[in-house]
Every structure is written in structure tokens, then in C-alpha cells.
């Protein structure tokens, strides 16, 4: 989803020489004023990263790959794609050996952190992931920093907040309800809230996330020093605050479509997630969060419901 | 050195069914009341870890492997041995698949931390290594935690302080002088101090380090939770305090053998190293540091000079 929105934005902004889209399935090429090539392949397969690096892209957005639930269910696949695939890409760049030194923008995750947390997670809080996905992302961050320090490429890692409101159909991710309780009521549909309203979480709109990626592609990385990965700024909101924002934007009739139906399993998973960050470094480097959760709701309406 | 001392201690303590020593070079087997087997091989070579795991050791001390300077000079070798070798070991254990679940005691390093540091590095300070060696150890720590969380083995990682007094000949490691300024004068030899006396660093005696490893082999890891690696307790001392301890134990004639000869290169390297830790978790789990730097000097005399 982020990849598709990034490509749409790049196509409308322009200023790109050529766009290469690589995925395990055929990517939809956007209409753009510059050439767009789509490539299909598995980055974790031997030789695949070398094929991409042979095209010498100047900026690489690496939005890997196997999501949290799948990486937990399939240990080998998660490590093969999220760790080995990323390492193969980094190795292919290192071995280019002709002075090639692209900007690598890597999407990491707040899953690199594991409970118990401080009230707000600071920039020097440690990675103690509680999932294989978080472990793989934390390892990728370490590799990104070392390859950058060595001068093999110019990397930056972004720990994105939970993206909200995620467009499209409801999915079965444990985090799905954070978007569902806004998206479905605004579409006139009923939705289920499986956790108490006191649950607090950390959000960014898709628009803010694309802004982070584009900023990361252009930033002067000298300011990062050796610490190449950053928690992105976001909005910390309780489910109750989410619902209040929905009420302001969508009215009481929207709020009435939320049915509370506690689910102990989802509650247990969500309890292990970060609630709030003090993302001072990223803010100081010019990364901009949404203004409020209400703005997040309005962005969803502007970007998804008025097309 | 730590491996050799650990083996000597295990041989004298007894209580071991069988001891398997594996290294790239032939290990010297200690005289012991139990069988000792020595195995030669490269753990990073395919199939080697499987051979070891086939013997189903109950406790594995994994003291890998390529030191900091070499891992920095030879990027590929460092990653192959320190990362891939460790991962091959972990994978071989995971794939045993017959309920085999050994205790894995992994020696990590304070090199997982990189400057700038807080005054004392706490248990939740983040890994931002400034060397490839530190990166490899930090990645190994993440793997150790995830494999343990998954139940593949029962792992614990120990970040050892700088071992002091390191026995034997002076070596060319940038940290060599921390031991050299004690060891050489006590042996009646001149030695060079390349940094100011105000430099502060973090120490444990070889005897304390062996104590950490043995404690880690026996501890109830339930108390670790998901956070499987620990900074070990140690002694924070300035070079000036080291020299005062030497004076107390070895007298003025020993101190006079230290020649101050500032070396800007060594100073620059040492400036990036941790100076002090607040190793509260490890202390709470029963890991015991030396009592003082003076004790560290006395241990050197007892264990190395009275044999």
C-alpha cells in the first residue's frame, strides 16, 4: 500500500529520471511523465539483487516485505525474505565496486521495540523485539548502519508508526481495527472494536508516511552520524480519542456503527505494542507528523473518499 | 584466552559429563577427571555446526571469534565467522527437531554500544555499534533472543567488560595498554602508556569473566524474560586509578616502569569506547564483579605470577 502510494506521488511530483518498480508480483505502473519499468522477481533469490543493482538506481526505497504475522507463522520464510533478501541487496551494492553509492531508504518498524516500554520511547531506547519480524527489522537496521559507516551506500532507516487510516478492505491483522473503526463507519458500514477505549497507540496517515520517505530520500545524511535509523514522529492517541475525532468529522451516526466486542487474544497482542514515542531526532531532522488524529481522519476522506 | 581459562576451571571444578572443545586450531585438552574431546573445524563452513550439534551438548559456550581489529580490516571474514558462523550454529540446533534444547552461553561485547554514551550505560541503552565487530555481536544478540523466544534453545548473552589483566605477551590491540601498564611493571618490564591518566574504562578480571560464564550456564533463564543479553558488572576505573592500584600492590618501583608516550591514534579509538555501566540487571541476577581495581591486580598476581 505504501509502495503504491509512493509511486503515485512520485509520478505526480515529477523530477524523477526513471522509475524501476521491483516486486514478487507485477507492479502496476503509474501514468508518469518519465519512463517506468516494472520488474518481477524474488529479492531473496541468488542473483536477483545484482540484476537490480546493475541498473544503478540512485535512490532505492526498500519496503521489505513479509509482514509480522506471516514472519511469525513461517520462521524460515521471514528470515529468508526480511533478513537474507535485505542483506543480498546490501551485498550487491557493496560489490558493485565502481564508486556506486546510492541512497537507500529502508522502512523499518516500531516492532524493533518490545514491552515493557517507558511512557514514551526515546531515541536511545533499545531494540528488544518480541517477534521474528521485529528481530529481522532490527538486524536490517544494524546492517544498514554498518554498510553506511563503511561507505558502501548512504542509508537511512525509518520506523514508521502504524499507518492509519489504511485504505481498502478490512484485513485480519491484529492491528486492523485501528483503521477499521474509522474507515468502515465513514463508509456507512458497521465495525467491531475488540479492545477497551483506553488502549493507546502510535499513528501516522499514509500521506505523512509518504512524506517521510520522500524527505528521507533528500535529507543530508551527515546529520545522522552513525545512527542511521530513526523513529518517525506520529500521533499518540487512545481508541477513545480516535472515536472522538471520528465524531467531530463524521458525526454521531458514524460513531454508532462501532460495536464493542472485546477479544482477549487481540488485547493480549496489542498490550505488547508501543503506545507513544518521543521522536525528537526525526523532528529535528525535519520529518513532520500529522497535526492531530482529527487530521488523520480528514486525510483519509480527502485522499480516499473523494476520488 | 577466556576459552582456555574456562576449560581449566571446568577441569578443576569437575561435575561435567564430557567436554567437547571445538576451534579452528587444535585445542589443548586439559587434564580432567572426565572425558575431553577436541575437534578442529570452521564453524562457518557448511555442515560443521551440524557435526557438533549431532553430539547433543547440553551446554554450549560460544566464544566467537574474529576480533574487532580483524573484523574491521576484513569485512567479509568478520561477517562470515561472527555472523554466519553463529547463525549456522543456531540453525543447526533449531533443525535438530527432537526436543533438543541446550543452554547457549554467548559472549557478546560492550562493542555493541557506540558513542556518544550516557555517563553510565544502563540496561536499556540502545545498540549503535561503531565497528563491524560490534554490529555482528549485536545481530547475534538479536538472533539469540529470537531463537530463545521461539524455544529452539535456551540462550543467554554476556557483554563482557574489557578483560584486565590479560595474561601473556603485549599485543597490538588498541586496548592492549590497559593490561600492559599493570602486567609489564609487575614483571619488571618497561611499558608505554599512550593515553592521558584521565581516560576511564570498564574492566573485569579473567577470573570474574569465567565466573560470569559458569553462572550463565546454571542460572534460571526465566528471570531474563525476552531480554536475553546482559551487560556484565565490572569496575569502572581511570588509568590514574589503575596506576594507583598498581602502586599499592607493586610499589613505586613498578609505577616507575610506566612511560607516558601519547599516541593520538590510540586516543581517538579509545574515546569511542564505553567508560562506565549501570549493570543493574546482571547484578540482580547474581553476576558478581571484582571488588575493586586493586583486587583485579591481586588476581593477576595470584592466578598468573604464582604458578
Q: Do A142 and B145 touch (CB under 8 A)?
A: no
Place of cell 468502515: A184
User: Does any domain span residue B245?
Assistant: yes
Q: Which residues of B touch A150 (CB under 8 A)?
A: 75, 132
Residue A66, φ and ψ in degrees, nearest 5 = -85, 125
β partners of residue B236: B202
Identify the pLDDT of residue B307. 62
Tell me the C-alpha distance between A249 and A150, whole Å: 49
Q: Do B125 and A124 touch (CB under 8 A)?
A: yes
Q: Do A127 and B129 touch (CB under 8 A)?
A: no
Instruction: Give the distance from residue A299's alpha carbon to the nearest chain B alpha carbon, in angstroms.
Output: 34
User: Does any domain span residue A122?
Assistant: yes
User: Does any domain span residue B28?
Assistant: no
Instruction: Give the distance from residue A219's alpha carbon to the nearest chain B alpha carbon, in angstroms.
Output: 21
Span B28-69, pLDDT tens digits: 888 888 999 999 999 999 999 999 999 999 999 999 788 888
For A75, the closest of B118, B145, B150 (CB atoms) is B150
Helices B132-149 and B86-96, axial angle in degrees (round to 10): 10
Instruction: Report the DSSP pairing between strands A235-238 and A200-204.
Output: antiparallel
Q: Is the pLDDT of residue A64 over 80?
A: no
DSSP single-letter state for residue B150:
T
User: Does any domain span residue B159?
Assistant: yes
Q: Which residues of B touch A114 (CB under 8 A)?
A: 226-227
User: Is the distance from CB of B152 to CB of B103 less than 8 angstroms?
Assistant: no
For B138, the closest of A114, A142, A150 (CB atoms) is A142
Other C-beta atoms lying within 10 Å of the C-beta of residue B36: 18
User: Is the distance from CB of B300 to CB of B242 less than 8 angstroms?
Assistant: no
Q: Which residues of B touch A145 (CB under 8 A)?
A: 128-129, 135
Span A116-160, pLDDT tens digits: 999 999 999 999 999 999 999 999 999 999 999 999 999 999 999
What single string gives the DSSP state of each residue in B43-70? TTSTTHHHHHHTT--SEEEE-----HHH
- Does B119 contact A at CB distance below 8 Å? no
Determine the structural domain holding residue B192 and report its residue range.
42-305
Q: Is the pLDDT of residue A307 over 70?
A: no
User: Does any domain span residue B30?
Assistant: no
- In sequence order, the 6+-apart residues with CB closer than 8 A to the CB of B226 are A114, A128, A130, B145, B149
- Does B198 contact A at CB distance below 8 Å? no
For A128, the closest of B118, B130, B227 (CB atoms) is B227
Residue B142, domain CATH: 3.40.50.720
Tell me the C-alpha distance between B64 and B106, whole Å: 8
Span B252-263, pLDDT tens digits: 999 999 999 999
Q: Is the pLDDT of residue A31 over 80?
A: yes
Helices (H), A14-117: 48-53, 68-73, 75-78, 86-96
Residue A159 grid coordinates = 520506523
- Does A114 contact B at CB distance below 8 Å? yes
Calculate the alpha carbon distances from B263 to B177, B192, B238 in Å.
11, 10, 17
For A125, the closest of B126, B138, B145 (CB atoms) is B126
Q: Is the pLDDT of residue A216 over 70?
A: yes
Identify the pLDDT of residue A252. 97
Query: Confidence band (pLDDT; 50, 70, 90) for A68?
Result: confident
Q: Which residues of A touch B135 (CB under 8 A)?
A: 142-143, 145-146
User: Does any domain span residue A293?
Assistant: yes
B113 to chain A: closest CA residue: A126
- In sequence order, the 6+-apart residues with CB closer than 8 A to the CB of A250 are A185, A186, A297
Q: How many domains does chain A have?
A: 1
- Residues in chain B with pLDDT < 70? 307
User: Does any domain span residue B17?
Assistant: no
Active site residue B79: no
Question: How would you class B38 by CB atoms within 10 Å of its CB: exposed for 0-12, middle for 13-18, buried for 19 or more?
Answer: middle
Query: Confidence band (pLDDT; 50, 70, 90) for A21?
Result: very high
The arithmetic mean of pLDDT across residues A211-222, rounded, is 97
Calculate the alpha carbon distances from A219 to A223, A228, A234, A282, A291 in Å.
9, 12, 19, 11, 22
User: Does any domain span residue B149?
Assistant: yes
Identify the pLDDT of residue A171. 76
User: Which residue in A275, A229, A7, A277 sits closest to A115, CA to CA?
Assistant: A275
Q: Do B130 and A75 touch (CB under 8 A)?
A: no
Count of positions (residues) in chain A:
307
Q: Which of A79, A100, A133, A147 is catalytic?
A: A133
Query: Confidence band (pLDDT; 50, 70, 90) for A258?
Result: very high
For chains A and B, CB pairs below 8 A equal 55
User: Is the distance from CB of B157 to CB of B196 less than 8 angstroms?
Assistant: no
pTM of the full predicted structure?
0.95
Instruction: Give the distance from residue B7's alpha carbon to the nearest chain A alpha carbon, in angstroms.
Output: 32
Amino acid at each position: 500500500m505504501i509502495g503504491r502510494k509512493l509511486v503515485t506521488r512520485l509520478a505526480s511530483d515529477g523530477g524523477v529520471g526513471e522509475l524501476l518498480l521491483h516486486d514478487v508480483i507485477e507492479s502496476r505502473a503509474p501514468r508518469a511523465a518519465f519512463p517506468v519499468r516494472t520488474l518481477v522477481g524474488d529479492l531473496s533469490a541468488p542473483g536477483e539483487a545484482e540484476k537490480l543493482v546493475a541498473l544503478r538506481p540512485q535512490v532505492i526505497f526498500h519496503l521489505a516485505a513479509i509482514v509480522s504475522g506471516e514472519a511469525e507463522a513461517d520462521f524460515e520464510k521471514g528470515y529468508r525474505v526480511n533478513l537474507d533478501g535485505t542483506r543480498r541487496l546490501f551485498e550487491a551494492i557493496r560489490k558493485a565496486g565502481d564508486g556506486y553509492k546510492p541512497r537507500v531508504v529502508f522502512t523499518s518498524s516500531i516492532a524493533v521495540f518490545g514491552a515493557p516500554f517507558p511512557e514514551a520511547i526515546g531515541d536511545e531506547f533499545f531494540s528488544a523485539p518480541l517477534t521474528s519480524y521485529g528481530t529481522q527489522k532490527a538486524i536490517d537496521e544494524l546492517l544498514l548502519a554498518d554498510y553506511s559507516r563503511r561507505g558502501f551506500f548512504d542509508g537511512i532507516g525509518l520506523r514508521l508508526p502504524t499507518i492509519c487510516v489504511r485504505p481498502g478492505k478490512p484485513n485480519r491483522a491484529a492491528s486492523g481495527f485501528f483503521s477499521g473503526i474509522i474507515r468502515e463507519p465513514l463508509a456507512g458500514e458497521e465495525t467491531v472494536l475488540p479492545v477497551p477505549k483506553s488502549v493507546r497507540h502510535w499513528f501516522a496517515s499514509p500521506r505523512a508516511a509518504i512524506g517521510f520517505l520522500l524527505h528521507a530520500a533528500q535529507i543530508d545524511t551527515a546529520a545522522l552520524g552513525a545512527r542511521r535509523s530513526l523513529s518517525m514522529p506520529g500521533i499518540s492517541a487512545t481508541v477513545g480519542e480516535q472515536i472522538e475525532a471520528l465524531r467531530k468529522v463524521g458525526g454521531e451516526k458514524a460513531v454508532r456503527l462501532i460495536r464493542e466486542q472485546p477479544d482477549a487474544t487481540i488485547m493480549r497482542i496489542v498490550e505488547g505494542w508501543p503506545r507513544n514515542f518521543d521522536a525528537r531526532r526525526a523532528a529535528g531532522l525535519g520529518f513532520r507528523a500529522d497535526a492531530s488524529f482529527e487530521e488523520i481522519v480528514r486525510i483519509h476522506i480527502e485522499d480516499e473518499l473523494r476520488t
